[in-house]
Structure 1
Amino acid sequence: MYQDFNKIELKNLGNGLKRKVLAYSDNLMTVYMEFDEGSIAEIHSHDKHEQITYIIDGEFEFTINGEKHLCKSGDSMYFAKNIFHGCKCIKKGKLLDTFTPKREDFLNI
């Protein structure tokens, strides 16, 4: 499946978060995220999904199982199932999230 990035809708999720669902299959999904400075992705975990996050641009304070990490462009993280994680955007930024399996809930928003 080919996806033209410029033709995919950038959905405003509120609270300074925006998302584009990029290519996906039943077993894999890539998601582009934009964060305004100061926006927060609340601490959460996934019981069905593994996740890898790559920071394209900006600076974030990630909390992973209670530990804080200052992350910047080029950094990446892996979140196994049931790992608690979230972040605060320190400098306006962009992330690329990859999930396995795909996030059905992202397709319905």
Structure 2
Amino acid sequence: MNTLVKDSDLDWEDLGGGIKRKIMAHDPNMMIVKVAFEKGGVGAVHKHPHTQASFVHSGTFEITIGDEMKVLKGGDVYFIPSDILHGAVCLEDGVLVDVFNPLREDFLPK
């Protein structure tokens, strides 16, 4: 477990479609992930058992959670309860910082 993390020490993982991510830090109870989007990048609608809190670091995103949609910009946040459908569309290049509880084991290298 890394307790002091320098962004420059971590490599991006290209997810395709104008999206890349860095797993910044994690333990069994929590994970923080930085996700960079190019304009037009789509975080497809999905759900997972993890609770998620996200900080819009920069850019502009159309965020959908359940039946609600809002356009959020740098400085805004959103919260996703467990097993709720959600997705994102990037309207202006930007970065999201996602926190998951518990960690997303499916994000870890195999």
Show the counterpart of 1:82: 83
TM-score by length of 2: 0.94
Amino acid at match of 2:35: M
Q: CA deviation at 1:3?
A: 1.9
Moved over 4 A (4+): none
Amino acid at match of 2:27: S
1:20 aligns with 2:25: no
Aligned partner of 1:9 among 8, 11, 31? 11
Alpha-carbon separation, structure 2, partners of 1:41 and 1:35 = 9
1:4-56 alpha-carbon deviations (Å, 9 max, x no partner): 21011111100010000011111001000100000100001112x00001000
RMSD: 1.0
1:37 aligns with 2:39: yes
Show the counterpart of 1:60: 61
TM-score by length of 1: 0.95
- Where structure 1 has 5 or more consecutive residues not aligned to the other structure, the ranges are none
Show the counterpart of 2:107: 106
Three-state SS of the structure 2 residue aligned to 1:6 is helix
- Where structure 2 has 5 or more consecutive residues not aligned to the other structure, the ranges are none
Count matched residues.
108
Amino acid at match of 1:28: M
